[in-house]
Each structure stands twice: as structure tokens, then as C-alpha cells.
Amino acid sequence: MQVTSIVEGDYEHAIVQLICLLYEEKYHLVFASAELWPAELERPPQEKRLSEPAKRLGGNGRIFYSRYVLTAREAMAWYERCREGKFELLQRDASYPAVAEPHLEEPPWPQLVVGTKFPVSGDVPSSVRAHHLYPEHVPPLIQKLFDLHPELRTWASDRILTSFERYPELAGSIHLLVPNPVFRSLHMRLHIAEDGSEGTAIEITPREGMTSEGLQATVIEHRPTGISAYQTMAFAAAPYLLVKHVGAVEEVELYLHCPRRGLLEWQAPSSYMRQSSIGISLISSRKRIQVPQPPGTPPEEYEVPLSHLVSTSTHREPGGPTVLPAILRKREFERKRSDEAERLGQKWFHRSKTEATEFVRALIGTARERVWIVDPYFAAPELFSFALATTHASAKVVILTGASTAMQIPDLVDSTIEAGEQLLRTLSRTEMGHIEVKVMTGDMPTVHDRFLVIDNAVWFTGNSLNSLGERAGMMISVPAPDVVVAELQNILDDLVRTRTLADWVAARKTNKTT
């Protein structure tokens, strides 16, 4: 197996960009990359260093962004030292102490990755081969910096044109970016011959001093149910290649390989555009809507444009696949959508309270660490119906209910006391020791919707648990639970609007007697 490699002489200059946090007289790595520049490109210009204070870290914390212009050989030597665990600053800053977490490399050196999943792009407009050094965890100091200074996380993201919030694994990482040294660009298009036969035309633009001769293109044809054909052809001196297909082509995948350098380019399976439709609409007028408001409330109004379709046109290439591939892909899409709904636990309940209750109890029974029931209408009956459904002794239950919506109304069993007092009495029983209840105070609870947290999963439902299934409603597992858990945790910890049930009942009794 040939390794995707770097050939001596392909690159002359390089840019190393560093983002570091100066804290307690040491430079802590936030992000680093070394980008090699193809030999045809002139030496890039120097740029001044940028910095911002990190005052909330304490002391004299400051974040720096630096770009160093090096030779390609110097940049490779620096990256090799980073691979050996010897991260350091460069040039005028080389004497400053620098700190970085131990790194894991991806892929194994000297392999390089060719693809589109790495979010950081360099200065050279070209496809990129890359090697990565990632810390096993986000460095604690950098995480603290981003937590205390979200504006500095944005500042650092702007420097590399990629979000550290979306890609947290970039914090503390180092990367080698190796642009395609042989050609600047590659274009693929559908070729239709005079006899109607189809092919894929591949055209490249070689860099100065480079040639297309000897490059090998592997074209793989994909159909709705799998791969139907593949061909490998070599470029001659002309930077153009025509790969012929049998019948109408559906999707095409491309690998472009150099005998000396390995894989240079990969393009994922994609189809050709055979039809385009254009519709033109004109805004003819605008309408203003006034929203009715209670007396004494400022008026609310808004405008929306009214548009009318005036023309449409459709252009379609002759020939092309039959309708069958489209039908097969549509059915496959529908199956994937159904599978995703099943994965997220999408459940519709209507006139089936027993089914809904059993479903929720089964979910609670799977919990090993925690169950949070967030329901403004949760009271003693729901405690027995759901909160006791845990099967693992280690699972702790936290209930967040509403004062005005559930705790202040008369209890369903003993109408002489409020539901909150009855719930507190029930919690004194031995089998309730793993359950904690908190109350959202005020005229309206902080939370309107209902949530069920099972370990690291979060389920959402519009109906309260005591009525789920009686009227039409749905439950679904949210795809990004961490954000929801964090927001619910903030509400649980809110000392102003959230109180323990015992404190709320005591305060309620005190207020009644005064």
C-alpha cells in the first residue's frame, strides 16, 4: 500500500499560525497549524501579531495570534518536534516558555488524510492533504478561558475561520496542511457525445513546472443500490481526460492518484445537474398587521410583502436516467427518515393513555444514574405513577414542578391540604429517599414544556405526564441533549425562582399565618 507522501521540492515556503494564551508567564497552546506553500507561489508577507486581554482569568492573562513565515523545511522540522512532544514558539518568540498537552496523531505518520471533514482551511485555495495532532481532552485552562471569555473564543474562531464552539476538539490541537502541489484546480462535468452516450470529463490546471502526465484517475459509478462500475485511466501530457460510461450515469466518485505522491484528490459521490427550474416573483404590495393588545400595552404591528409568481422556466439536458433511480432513492430516503424517527424515539399517542404511561415507565426503568422529570403539573399521583418506576438503585430522581400550576391547588386525595404539602408528606416515606422535588415559584413557572431526562438523553413532550395519551400528543428524544440539560440545570440551580419543596411548603405556611 502506497502512503500519501510529501516530495522534496514540491514546497518552498510555509506559514505557521499559532494561537496561545499567555498565563502565569507561560504560553499555553490554543491552536496551531503549519501550511506548506506550493513552489510556484511567492513568499507570503509577514503580518503583525494580534492579542486580546483575558481579564477574567485573573493575573495578566492574554491571548495571542501569530503568523510566522518560514521555509517549508523549517516548518516540517517544527511539526516533527511537535510530534515528539516538543511544542515551541518560533523566530522572535522562540525563547519564551511554551506548554501543550500530550497529543495523539491522526493518521499514523507519515500518512496524510485527503477529504473534506477537517474544518480548517489554509491560505492556499486548493484541496488539502493533512496530518493532525489532537490532545485527548480539551486542555482545562483553555476550557476555562473559553467559559469565562466566550468573546475570546469567538475572537480565536475568527482567526482560523472555524468555530471552536462547534469543533471543541480543535482546542489545543496542531495540524499540518499540505495543499495539492501538482495542480491548482480540478473540474468534472457531464459529457454527452453526438450519439447520446455519456461520459465524465475531468480537467485539471497544473501548477507551474508540473505536468498531468502519469496522474491516475479512478472513477466509480454509483447506482441507487450500489456500485455498478469503476475505471482507472492515466493522464497524458494534456490535462484532460474523458471517462466513458455505459448508459446514463447516476452518481460519480473520483480518486486522483500520483505514483510518487499518493492520493491527491478525492471527491465524494455526486450526481450531475440535468434539470434546473427558475421562478420569478414580484412584490406587488405590502400588508400591515396590527396585533390586538390589552389596554395600556404598547401597540404591536408588523409588515409582510405580498408577491406573485410572474414566470417559470425549466431547462433539462436530453437523455439521462429513467425515473426508476429517482423512485429508488426516494424510497431509501423515506426509510432513512423513518429509521431516524425511530432512533429519536418519535412516538405519537392519541386515546391511548395506558400505552403512553407504560412507555414513560419503561424509559424511567432504563435509568442508571439520573431521572429528571420537568413538568409544571407534576404532583403526588404522578410521583407514584412515574417517579417510582426506576429499577436501578443508583438512579437519583429530581422532579421540577410548578407552584401555581400544581402545588398550590387542593390535593386530589385530601382536599383539606394543598398538593405541595401532601407531596412533601409522601416524600418522607422510606422508599422515596432517592427522590428530590423542586418547585418553580411565581405566578407562572419558568418552564412551560415538559422534559424527561434519562441519564444523558432528553425526551420532550408537549403534554403533561398526567394527561399524556388522553389527547393527541407526541414524545421525541432531542438530538442535542447536552444543551437542554445545561439549561435545565441552570433553572434547577436558580436561587430566585426555584426552591426545594420543603422550603417552599414552609414559606407557604408562614405566609398564610402572617
The verdict on 243 and 375 lying in the same domain is no
Domain assignment of residue 90, yes or no: yes
pLDDT at 1: 58
Domain assignment of residue 264, given as a range? 181-269
The verdict on 483 and 350 lying in the same domain is yes
CATH code, domain with 230: 2.60.40.10
Q: What residues contact 486, with CB distance under 8 A and at least 6 apart?
A: none
Q: Which amino acid belongs to residue 7? A: V
Per the CB < 8 A criterion, the answer to whether 189 and 272 are in contact is yes
Answer with the one of 161, 176, 191 that is the final residue of a domain: 176
Q: Which amino acid belongs to residue 220? A: I
Q: What gap in Å lies between CA 255 and CA 235, rounded to an integer?
A: 13
The verdict on 209 and 195 lying in the same domain is yes
Which residue ranges in the chain fall short of pLDDT 70? 1-4, 318-320, 513-514
41-131-75 Cα angle (round to 5): 45
Q: What gap in Å lies between CA 437 and CA 417, rounded to an integer?
A: 18
Beta-strand pair 11-23/62-71: antiparallel
Domain assignment of residue 148, yes or no: yes
The verdict on 120 and 228 lying in the same domain is no
Q: What gap in Å lies between CA 311 and CA 309, rounded to an integer?
A: 6
- Residue 389: all three cell numbers together: 418506576
Please tell me the total count of domains within the chain. 4
Q: What gap in Å lies between CA 240 and CA 212, rounded to an integer?
A: 8
The verdict on 378 and 443 lying in the same domain is yes
Domain assignment of residue 374, yes or no: yes
Q: Which amino acid belongs to residue 238? A: A
The verdict on 262 and 280 lying in the same domain is no
Map residue 249 onto helix, strand or coil. Answer: coil
The string of pLDDT tens digits covering residues 469-484 is: 888 888 899 999 999 9
The verdict on 357 and 245 lying in the same domain is no
Q: What gap in Å lies between CA 343 and CA 335, rounded to an integer?
A: 12
Beta-strand pair 26-38/173-179: parallel
Q: Please report, for residues 38, 384, 401, the alpha-carbon distance to residue 398 in angstroms, rounded to integers and kept in the order given.
A: 59, 14, 10
Q: DSSP class of residue 369?
A: S
Domain assignment of residue 4, yes or no: no
Q: Which amino acid belongs to residue 1? A: M
What distance lies between CA 53 and its chain's CA centroid?
Answer: 29
CA-based nearest residue to 231, from 255, 262, 203 = 255
Neighbouring C-beta atoms of residue 389, cutoff 10 Å: 20
Domain assignment of residue 45, yes or no: yes
The verdict on 84 and 127 lying in the same domain is yes
Q: Is the peptide bond before 110 cis (omega within 30 degrees of 0)?
A: yes
Per the CB < 8 A criterion, the answer to whether 479 and 340 are in contact is no
Q: Which amino acid belongs to residue 49? A: R
The verdict on 420 and 464 lying in the same domain is yes
- Residue 215: all three cell numbers together: 496522474
Tracing cell 492579542 back to the chain, one arrives at: 51
The verdict on 410 and 308 lying in the same domain is no
Q: DSSP class of residue 170?
A: G
Domain assignment of residue 378, yes or no: yes
The verdict on 164 and 256 lying in the same domain is no
pLDDT at 20: 96
Domain assignment of residue 79, yes or no: yes
pLDDT at 320: 67
CATH code, domain with 503: 3.30.870.10
Answer with the one of 176, 206, 232 that is the final residue of a domain: 176
The verdict on 425 and 351 lying in the same domain is yes
Answer with the one of 152, 176, 200 that is the final residue of a domain: 176
Domain assignment of residue 382, yes or no: yes
